[in-house]
């Protein structure tokens, strides 16, 4: 097995096109990645060409592992692989670390898993030294944490910023990957795609989008310098998680805020508050046990209230009301653990949904508006939203809700938005239209595996992975929190740590056994995809249009992408490794 650690001078195909007087002696160099050191000596008389050729040669770095992305997944992968003796670099299209928290700088952006849990557990000192200021940290603080991790573990020398991976090609002859980026080409024995589940923004193609004369923003690509909406007429298109977080904050600044709603979403109060030092100290004193307990939860999230095993539909009204009130007042995801059958039994689900609709009606003063904001679909089958004053915001006179559930948005115009035959004028439009979730960033890398199979062809019928970690015909490529793993249904840092540790252990095993290649078998992937679907079909998750199913992206195949249940999944991964990586072929 080649564990590359050296640079190698090679000719870049692109730059070599400018070498017009190419002779057959050079052509070998132009069509592949044979190193200049391998090239035959240039004959006398070709000195000029040799000099020119040298001007156009490019350094193609070779590494054991290339990690794509420098969010929480990429940072930990870089750290762990480097510490395990691999020559690793990370390629990141942004100019800094943090991933989600580097890009999503919209007003109100914050985590919805409590900060003390939404943090790495791999280093005990890091865990103890970092102080969170709030129950749910805001984006700047989470970004600062990611930057702190990068600098504490000296990761930046291993990261190339402003580097977008544009193409990944598997070289069957030597089981390596060629990684083409916007400014250089790399080669590696292994690629770890830590490209994020929610990193490819979804921009609906509204007619007339280029006509609008005001400013346009996407929550997932917010300007670093911030935006001042004071005195402006602002539109927010979308009512998902980012909209629910940003609308109350934008409303505080804007002169007029208009929200375009296609589907209302259920939102539970976050009840964010400053994190008291004693609360933090209490958790830190018992961090190891608490983290272990979290990993035994379906979502990898530990909540204050234990999961109740009883059924919502069977509870008497007094008990039901008092339990739901308690959870509502406490805030956060504990709400969804009030009864065991919320996501499996339609009657129980509807009872809890009706409770939330009642709460919306209590808060929103105008009954028609409350009805419009009240979802009728299954509760919790979309990524649940947590908010601070979301429903309350619609009581303000300068905040308007426009229902586009029936006719959608007609078009964007020079002045604003035309919808339902009416014209709305704006200074700025905010697209809170989410992401091409789970597959967008992977497909965006134009990956070609064995037999020239491209990933978009391989995934025509939906993502097909083994364990959400590996794809048949794409050897030596690992996907961190890939489709088919619990990923977005969990505290993602828990899922990231589990994946990165599994991948690193796998590579260490291969290294010690002198193996070059690992590939999931077709049979293993087929049965895994069946398993993911079977588990989902036992719940209500597939019952509504959600990005878990790809429903927000026109033309995307509708398949439930994440696997429900972290602990059994993690056990399965352990078992696969313990059985000599069953379901994989290693050579």
370, 376, 377, 383: CA torsion to nearest 10? 10
| β-strands 399-403, 256-261 pairing | parallel
**Residue 113 engages ligand FAD in binding (rule: CB under 6 A):** yes
Minimal distance, residue 174 CB to ligand FAD, in Å: 23
Q: Which is nearer to ligand FAD, 244 or 510 (CB)?
A: 244
**Residue 111 engages ligand FAD in binding (rule: CB under 6 A):** yes
Radius of gyration of the chain (CA): 26
Q: How far is CA 116 from CA 80, 98, 188, 305, 363, in A?
A: 22, 17, 36, 16, 30
Q: Which tokens belong to 330?
A: 């406490």
Total interface residues for ligand FAD by CB under 6 A: 37
**Range 148-177, binding ligand FAD (CB under 6 A):** 164-165
Instruction: Return d(Cα 37, Cα 58) in angstroms, integer.
Output: 13
If you write DSSP's letter for every residue of 217-277 in order, what string do you get? EEGGG--TT----TT-EEEEE--SHHHHHHHHHHHHH-SEEEEEESS---EEE----BPPH
Q: Which of 49, 53, 73, 261 binds ligand FAD (CB under 6 A)?
A: 73
Q: How far is CA 180 from CA 2, 91, 132, 170, 433, in A?
A: 20, 11, 39, 11, 29
Q: Which tokens belong to 19?
A: 């070498």
With CA atoms as reference, report the closest residue to 155 among 146, 164, 163: 146
Q: How far is CA 375 from CA 6, 19, 463, in A?
A: 58, 63, 29
**Residue 441 engages ligand FAD in binding (rule: CB under 6 A):** yes
With CA atoms as reference, report the closest residue to 305 among 286, 285, 287, 325: 325
**Residue 565 engages ligand FAD in binding (rule: CB under 6 A):** no
Element (H, E) at 177: strand 176-181
**Residue 74 engages ligand FAD in binding (rule: CB under 6 A):** yes
Contact region with ligand FAD (CB under 6 A), list: 19-27, 66-74, 330-338, 464-472: 66-74
Q: Which is nearer to ligand FAD, 94 or 208 (CB)?
A: 94
Q: Which is nearer to ligand FAD, 73 or 331 (CB)?
A: 73
Minimal distance, residue 164 CB to ligand FAD, in Å: 5
Contact region with ligand FAD (CB under 6 A), list: 247-255, 279-287, 438-446, 469-477: 438-446
**Range 243-282, binding ligand FAD (CB under 6 A):** none
Minimal distance, residue 350 CB to ligand FAD, in Å: 27
Minimal distance, residue 279 CB to ligand FAD, in Å: 18
Minimal distance, residue 380 CB to ligand FAD, in Å: 16
Q: How many CB atoms lie within 10 A of CB 414?
A: 10
**Residue 295 engages ligand FAD in binding (rule: CB under 6 A):** no
Question: How many Cα atoms occupy the beta-carbon half-sphere of 533 within 13 Å?
Answer: 12
**Residue 341 engages ligand FAD in binding (rule: CB under 6 A):** no
Q: Which is nearer to ligand FAD, 49 or 294 (CB)?
A: 294
Contact region with ligand FAD (CB under 6 A), list: 65-73, 150-158, 259-267, 288-296: 65-73
**Residue 240 engages ligand FAD in binding (rule: CB under 6 A):** no
Contact region with ligand FAD (CB under 6 A), list: 88-96, 391-399, 451-459, 539-547: 88-96
Contact region with ligand FAD (CB under 6 A), list: 20-28, 338-346, 416-424, 439-447: 439-447
Tokens 């200074």 sit at which residue? 427
Tokens 């509760």 sit at which residue? 379
Element (H, E) at 324: helix 317-330
Q: Which of 53, 78, 99, 387 binds ligand FAD (CB under 6 A)?
A: 99
Q: How far is CA 513 from CA 1, 175, 438, 494, 508, in A?
A: 9, 16, 33, 29, 9
Contact region with ligand FAD (CB under 6 A), list: 189-197, 392-400, 456-464, 543-551: 189-197
Query: Which residues in this chain contact ligand FAD in the complex, by CB under 6 A?
Result: 68-74, 91-94, 99-100, 102, 104, 109, 111-113, 118, 164-165, 194-199, 242, 441, 444-445, 480-481, 491-492, 496
């Amino acid at each position: 097995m080649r564990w590359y650690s050296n640079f190698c001078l090679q000719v870049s195909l692109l730059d070599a096109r400018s070498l017009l007087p190419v002779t057959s002696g050079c052509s070998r160099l132009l069509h592949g990645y044979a190193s200049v050191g391998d090239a035959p000596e240039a004959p006398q008389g070709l000195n000029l060409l040799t000099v020119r050729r040298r001007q156009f040669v490019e350094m193609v770095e070779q590494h054991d592992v290339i990690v794509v992305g420098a969010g929480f997944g990429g940072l930990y992968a870089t750290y762990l692989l480097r510490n395990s003796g691999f020559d690793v670099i990370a390629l990141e299209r942004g100019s800094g670390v943090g991933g989600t928290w580097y890009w999503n700088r919209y007003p109100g952006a914050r985590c919805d898993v409590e900060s003390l849990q939404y943090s790495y557990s791999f280093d005990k000192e890091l865990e103890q030294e970092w102080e969170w200021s709030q129950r749910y940290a805001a984006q700047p603080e989470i970004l600062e944490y990611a930057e702190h991790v990068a600098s504490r573990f000296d990761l930046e020398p291993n990261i190339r910023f402003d580097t977008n991976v544009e193409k990944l090609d598997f070289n069957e002859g030597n089981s390596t990957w060629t990684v083409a980026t916007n400014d250089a080409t790399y080669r590696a024995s292994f690629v770890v795609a830590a490209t994020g589940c929610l990193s490819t923004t979804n921009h609906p193609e509204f007619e007339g989008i280029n006509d609008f004369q005001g400013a346009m923003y996407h929550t997932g690509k917010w300007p670093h310098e911030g935006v001042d909406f004071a005195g402006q007429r602002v539109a927010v298109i979308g009512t998902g998680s980012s909209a629910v977080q940003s609308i109350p904050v934008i409303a505080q600044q804007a002169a007029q805020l208009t929200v375009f709603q296609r589907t209302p979403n259920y939102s539970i109060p976050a009840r964010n508050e400053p994190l008291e030092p004693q609360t933090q100290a209490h958790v830190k004193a018992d961090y190891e046990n608490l983290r272990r307990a979290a990993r035994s939860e379906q979502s990898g999230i530990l909540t204050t209230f234990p999961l109740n095993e009883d059924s919502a539909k069977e509870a008497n009204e007094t008990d039901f009301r008092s339990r739901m009130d308690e959870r509502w007042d406490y805030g956060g995801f504990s709400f969804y653990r009030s009864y065991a059958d919320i996501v499996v039994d339609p009657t129980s689900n509807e009872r809890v949904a009706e409770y939330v609709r009642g709460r919306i009606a209590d808060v929103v003063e105008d009954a028609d508006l409350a009805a419009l904001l009240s979802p009728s679909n299954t509760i919790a089958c979309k990524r649940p939203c947590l908010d601070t004053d979301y429903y309350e915001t619609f009581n303000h006179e300068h905040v308007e809700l426009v229902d586009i559930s029936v006719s959608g948005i007609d078009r964007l115009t020079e002045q604003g938005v035309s919808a339902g035959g009416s014209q709305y004028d704006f200074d700025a439009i905010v697209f809170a239209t989410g992401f091409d979730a789970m597959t967008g960033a992977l497909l965006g890398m134009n990956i070609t595996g064995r037999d020239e199979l491209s990933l978009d062809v391989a995934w025509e019928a939906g993502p097909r992975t083994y364990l959400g970690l590996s794809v048949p015909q794409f050897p030596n490529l690992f996907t961190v929190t890939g489709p088919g793993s619990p990923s977005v249904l969990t505290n993602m840092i828990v899922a990231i740590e589990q994946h990165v540790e599994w991948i690193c252990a796998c590579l260490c095993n291969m290294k010690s056994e002198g193996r070059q290649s690992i590939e999931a078998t077709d049979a293993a992937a087929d049965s895994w995809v069946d398993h993911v679907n079977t588990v989902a079909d036992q719940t209500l998750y597939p019952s509504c249009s959600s990005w878990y199913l790809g429903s927000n992206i026109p033309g995307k195949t509708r398949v439930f992408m994440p696997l429900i249940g972290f602990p059994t999944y993690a056990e399965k991964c352990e078992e696969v490794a313990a059985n000599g990586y069953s379901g994989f072929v290693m050579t």
